Every structure is written in C-alpha cells, then in structure tokens.
Chains A and B, each alone.
Chain A
Amino acid sequence: MEETIISPDGTQEYFINMGPQHPSTHGVLRLVLTLDGEIIEKVEPHLGYIHRSIEKMCEKDNYRQIIHLTDRMDYLSAHMNNHAVSLAIENALEVEIPDRAKYIRVIMDELTRISSHTLWWGVMGMDLGAITSFLYGFRDHEYITEIFEETCGARLTMNYNVPGGVMFDIHPNFVKHVKDFIADFKTKLPEYDTLLSGNVIFLERTKGIGILTKEDAISFGVTGPAGRASGFSNDVRKKEPYGIYDQLDFKEILYTDGDTYSRYKARIDEMWESIKIIEQLIDNIPEGDFQAKTRKVIKLPKGEFYQKVETARGELGVYIVSDGKMNPYRMKFRSPGFSNLSALDRMARGGKIADLVAIMSTLDLVVPDIDR
C-alpha cells in the first residue's frame, strides 16, 4: 500500500491515471497525475506503450530501407521525416540533388504541415468539446491526403523521398490540384477563426492557461509552434535553411505570451505562411530530373552525420553514425514531441484537469513520435 499524505484539514492528495487509453492523449500515452482536488500538483508521463524500437530497426536496414520506417514516427509529418533522413544521407554522400526534387520536397513538406495543422485544429476543438470542428478540420486534411495519394501512392505513410530525390515524378494533375486546394483553403481558413478562435468559451479555456516562459521553453527544448508561442525563435527553416527555404519569403511566427491561446494562434498563422510558400513554388517547379543518380548499394563514409528539419511539431534531428557499411552503426532521432512533452509538467502545475487537456492539445503530441 502506498502511503497517503493527509493534510491538516483532513483532505489527501491522490493519484489518477490518465491514459494509456484516454481519448485526449491521442494515442497510448499514460500520465500519472497527482491531484489535490481538481488542482494538478504533478504530471508524470510514462512512456513505452507504443515503443517499436525504430532506432534499433534502422541498424539492420540499409540506407534506402530506413526511410520508410520514419513514416511511422510522427505519421502526421511523414514527408518531413523522410526528408530529414534523405538529406542526412545525401549530405554524407555529397550528392547534389536536382532542383526539381528540391521544389517538390518543399511543396510536399508544406502541404504536410497544413494537413497536420488542420487535423490538429479539428482535434483540439474536439478535446475542448466542440465536435463540429473535427469534421471541418478533417475535411481539409482529407483534401491534402487525396493529393498525396495521387502523387505518392499512399495517404499517410508516403515513403516518397529516396536518397537523391523523390520516388516518382509528380502526377500530371498535381499542380492543378494543389492550386485548387490553395484557392479552396483560403476561403476555409477564415472559417476556423469564426468557429473557434473568436469563440468566448474557447477563449476562456485557453487564454492565460498553461503558460510556458521563454526560459523554460529553451531549457526544456520546446521547439516548433509550441516554443515559438513563448517567444523562443527556433524555426529550422530560418536558422539553418535546408532545401530551398533560404530562397523563400515567409515569416517565422513568434508570440510572446506562451499560453495555450498563443500556441493555438501560432499554428493557425503557420498555415497562412505555408500557403504563401506553396504559392511561391507551385508555378515555378523547374523541369529536369526528379532524382539524382545514386549507387544501388549506398554506403556512407565513416563518420557522424546530423541533419535537422522543421516538422509540424518542431525540430526533428537525425543523427547517423556510420562505420562505412551498408547500414548505420547507430541511428538516433531527436524527436520534437519528446522534448515538448517534457515541459508538460511545468505548464500544467497549478491548473485544473480540464486545462491539462487544453495544454496537451496545443502541444500537439503524436505519441509514436515520442515513443519511437
């Protein structure tokens, strides 16, 4: 029996399990909450319920095969994960990839970001009790999924990047469909604001809740929109541009409040920026190869290689240690979700259980990413 602490007024703090099968944890994440009444005193995440040892599996696979495993980490940012590994391999091999592939990759990345954020928006509304928003969010998410399906052949786990470029050329309809989507989405995104952003109930539940200071964001390594909402400028696309991000005109979204509402706003604004990026690229995809020639059997030179990209959740780092063989000696992913989760305790302390749900939604946790 665990010892219970009874305070002088006769009340006692108690422990409650949130998850692993709790709908608002969006996956099998178990949080052990220490509560005083409804006030949260401590949040302790317990991981391991969906651990698939992806890093270990990478060690047995060759460099072409690794990429398809990364789809399954943060499945809502599958293209960015693929992109990160491909870039790491390309940098190590020192191959120059064709411009066409670079353009396609960035367009795909930004489409993924929009699709991830639309889904997040819908789910966030649902977590806070607004069921309709889920349907609206999913509608736009599905539109992009269809575009992916047409060009890449799969809806979620695309495995579209290969070392040296992309797997197939874009589908003949791709440009038209993306343009249709952008035109459509520009009329749909203001709806998001009408439905949630201005809603009083929503504002009451998000403003001033779960504040993360800039110092905490930096010390916990909270990246992505969650970190930028606290004023921590960390956009990898700006800081260490990869692909063709250095030639593009877009803003890094920064807020300073660090509360749940800022994190929400940061993501909504990011969608507008992504639209801007896609509009700059979609008409100018250069002609040419979509894949650089690489050897059939890829062997990386001895050494360590690191590449980071900005996924929909934050900074994803790929670290490859190579001993010159066909498969990596060690592979490590620095996943954004894991670091973002670590700040949850700091943000939720002193709040109510209902606030915890709101905070978790704006952290946008994808559990397979936390628990590779």
Chain B
Amino acid sequence: MTEIGLGIDLGTSNSCVAVVRDGEIRVLANAYGDAITASVVSFKEDGVITVGNLAKANAIHNPRHTVYSSKRLIGRYYFSPEVKKAQAIYAYEICESENHGINIKVRDELFSLPEIGAMVLREMKSIAESRIGQPVHKAVITVPANFNDNQRQATKDAGRVAGLEVLRILNEPTAAALAYGFGKGLKQKVAVYDLGGGTFDISVLEISTDVFEVLSTCGDTFLGGDDFDDRLIDLLADEFSADHGINLRNDLYALEKLKVAAEGAKNALSFHTEVAIRIPDVIESDGKSLSIERTVTTDEFSRLVNDLIQRTFKVCDEALQQASLVTADLDGVILVGGPTRLPMIRSAVTNYFQQEPQSDVDPDQVVAMGAAIHAAALVNKDRSSFLLDVTPLSLRIGVAGGLAEPVIERNTPVPIEQTRTFTTFQDHQESVKIRVYQGESRRDDENELLGQFEFSGFKKARRGEVEIDISFEINSDGIVNVTAKDRETGEQASTTISLSSGLSDLDMESIIREARTQRIEAVPIDDGGNALEPRPPDPRAQLVMIGVMAQTPGGETVAPAVAAARTINLEERPAMNVSSHFVPDLEMAPDDGPTREEVVILSEDGEILGTSDTKPDLDEVEPSAEDLFESPGSDLSGPLDEDQEKG
C-alpha cells in the first residue's frame, strides 16, 4: 500500500482536507458533499461528541456545550486580551489551567485546546479515510503565517492527539502559493492576501519553477471577517438605541440575534448589491416586542468597513518593504479566505496592487490543496517542489530593564540557529534563567512570552568563569527550541521550562489515552472509495438565516452559538434540508421551504416569517460572475492613494 499524507487546513470557522492521488489533487468532501466542514465540536448529555456540520446544527440546542472558533484560543495564555474577549462573548466556558494556560469546561469535564483541535482533526481524518477507502496516519497541518511558537506547538499537539504524525506545520499563505504555482513552471513574484475569520496574513513569495521562497510575511491577528460583522452590529445597535433608547448590546440574547443577522447580511453582500435585514422580536420593552428592519447596500457597507480594509494594506506595505519590493514587481495576487469574496475587498485589492487578483483560485480550498501537495512531496522521495519559509516574528530574550533584545529578526529564513554566550553573575551560581519572547516590541511585556528556561548542571566556579552557550533554534515548522551547553566541557545543561502554555509529555500521554475512548458520532459517507468531489460553490444558493432562536427541550430559551449564515444548496441535499440543518426538530419538507437566493426571516420557534418573495427588491439583483468581481465604486481610491504615500 502506498503511503498517504493528507493536507488539512484547520480553520477558525471551517476546515478542509485534501490529498494527492495518482498525481491529482483532490479536495475530499464531507458526508453532505461540502468541501469545508465546520470547526465546531458539540458535547451531548449522553457523553457523545459531535463534530462538524452536525455539531454546528446542534449548537442551537446546546450552546453552552458547543465549542466553536477554538483556533482563536489555541496556544494562548489565560491572561491574553484575546482570551478575555472570547470569554465575554462566547457561550461556552473558558477557564484557567495550570501554568496560565486555558481549558474549556463542558459538562464538568475539562479539555485543553489541543484536545478540541484534535476532535476536528479526527473528523477531517475520518472524512478522508472514508473517501480514500484506507486508513491514513500522516498529515501536513496549516496555521496562519503569523502564529507564534506556542500556537504552532499546540496545533502540532492537536495532530498527535488525533493520531496523526504531523509531517509539517505549514503556513497557510505558503500553502496557497504552492497550490497556485505547483507544476506550472512559473518564474513569478506573488503576494498571498489571506483574510480569514479572525486574522489577516500577507506573504510575498518568489516562485522559481520548483522553488517556493517566502520573502516576507506579515500579519494582524486581530483583523478578520468578524470585525466586519462588528461594524454592522454597531450600526444596527446604534440606530436602535437612537430610535428606542435601548442598548441591545446589554442583552446577550439580542446581541446574538444581531450577530447572526450581521454575518448573514455581510456574506450576502458578496453576491447582492443590497440586502434586507429583518430581526423580528429583537427585544421586548414594556411588554411590547420590538423589531429591526433595515436595508444595507454594498456602498454603505463599503464605507462602514473601509478603514478595516485600509488596515490590511498597511500590513501589505510592511510586507513589501521587508521583501524590498514594490507592488509593480508582483506578477500575481492570490486571495484566500471567506471575506475575500466581498466585491469591495476585491476592488480595493485590485486598486492597491494595481492588478486583478487571480480568479482561478478557490479561497476556501486552496490552503488544503497546497498542504496536500506538500504532504505528498514529504512522503514520496521524488520531490518536485520545495518550500523555503521564514519566521514571522522576531525571537527575543529578556534583558535588564524590562527590555527584550532580538536574537533572530522576523522574516529570517528557517531553519536557523543562533547562539549566545552567557556567564554566571555570582560565585558558585548553580543555574541561569532566561526568558524567551516573540514579537516586535522592545519592551518585554509587549511581546508573547514563549517560556522561562532554567539551565543547570554545569560546573560550579567563581562568577564569570562559567560560560554557557545558549542556542536558539527555529525549525522548518516555525517551532522554537532552546538548549544550553557548558562551553568548556561541551556538556548539555539540563533544562526546566516554566511558564509555558504547552502540554507536558506526561499530559500528552494521558490525553492520547483518553482520546481513544471518546465516543464520536460519525455521519456515514456511503460511497466509500468512490470519492465524491465537492459541489462547486454556487453563488446563487445563498440562504441567509436571520434571527434564528430556539428553545431547549427543557424550555430554557437559548441564543444560537454560531452565526448560522452560510451557503446551502437546498436542491442538491434533500437529506439535509434547511430546517434540519439548523433546527433539527423542525419538520419541514425542503420543497415547502425556500429554495434559492432568498433572505429568510425566522421567528423564535423556527417558523419562516418571510422570504425574498415578500422582498422583491432582492430578486431584482441577479447575481452573476460579474457581480462577484465588479468594483462597487471609486470611493475607495482616494484614501488608498493617501495611504500609499505614507507607507
């Protein structure tokens, strides 16, 4: 049997798996025929764990026990701002673990983030196994280019817990460039513009036939599609407050409704020039139920998010400068991530780079495809491409005065190693301690702490007489390794790492043992080896669910855990009609319900209150390929020029 290596894009909102078989790259669809699977894990009362689309569908009944967007938390410290933010808005419980790490608490059980990630990975692995028809043990897993060492380590741990040998941790934009340029014999400089749910990455690469060399990468881990949603939420909430004197943000329940509506409307604006938002019963006041009705146009939305889009270009300026290039040097621009479907982003990107982005790249699948190509190159010896990547963040050591001094600057190619010599400060000193950081600030507390290392076991002598060489190594996964040696004896010092968000080997062992006994609910894929290719995304099959609320079997009213808006093609999926997809206990035949390109307004109990039949203005907009790529207007060019001047 030939060895197989999967490519897995473990995304914040969605994951995707691909493989190279018989020289062909194939994206492997899940049981519903979708190329992408929701990165959602749901824990049922009976101890069964559901992963993927079913878990997302179940979220409405089980919000406190449904874990989504866990990638935003992986490898982070409990005290980090991102975790605090998540705690305020996520419906599931996030608590502190030892060493300042975090755990997710569901039904009185604690799970580390790598364990949650592993559940999604295992789902992707099993999708692949059913499609390929044989077991798979190896994979390349992708991460945002800007991920730090803690986040990479944790992702690798997730792979191990899922029973995978992680061949490589690969940067998402690098994978995208590989999928784009593989086997084409290109000599090009390209930029990969990757705007996901929560993060933005830009990488600049030089492709010379089979060599994919990353020249620079820059990113913003606090900028993504979710921020676009927030702008719409603010608009709706502010207007509501002006009209009714009620701040919807103070009501978690109303806020959830706003979130679902905002994401749905935003996504619809990729395909329509105008979208109607209707949230019936958004809140009750003096016994009267109040609603929101509002139309948003592409132009209005562009103005709302223009500064966010411009922020991505500041990062692009930085990346180009680090690569010593100007936009005119680039031969291609590749778009990755859901939000890059928005026409206003496409036109702003065209404007900034002075060229049309590549249109034959699927922004949802390209990362997994690149990972699959690299996985195949790693398991087979006949390599036809190779990747030379860089470290996205500067590696620093803490020095006196609360400062952090760079040892390896960002955008240095990897693998790399630097050695610094330290000496003892006191007579008979038994150990040396250093703190290692990643980041771009000179102040230590403004960087990410990777760990505090304590080295001991070298000879005891007068101060200044012992010299210790400390090596800082970054491998091709972007993972950092710190070791120390007595310079005179060449003997390796023993190392203790404290303050680290990672799992110890002991933790790992017990986690892997436990993972084997977890009961995971599987959706059978019946056509085994006869791989079904994913449906091509159909822009017309746009269904926006707005204001979906539900009640638990116990009568408790709950908010939906995740924004439920996404593309569904109702006709091709009789087994998963719209209602069962999101509100499983609703009985509604697909042919009774809405079919295509409609805005659907659901009431609290799942009843359909209206469709685009009752909103004819939407039907007038026939979405076409042109709609997707046409620029909405020229109002973006002004501020953009100004920006380029400054940069």
Partners in one complex: no
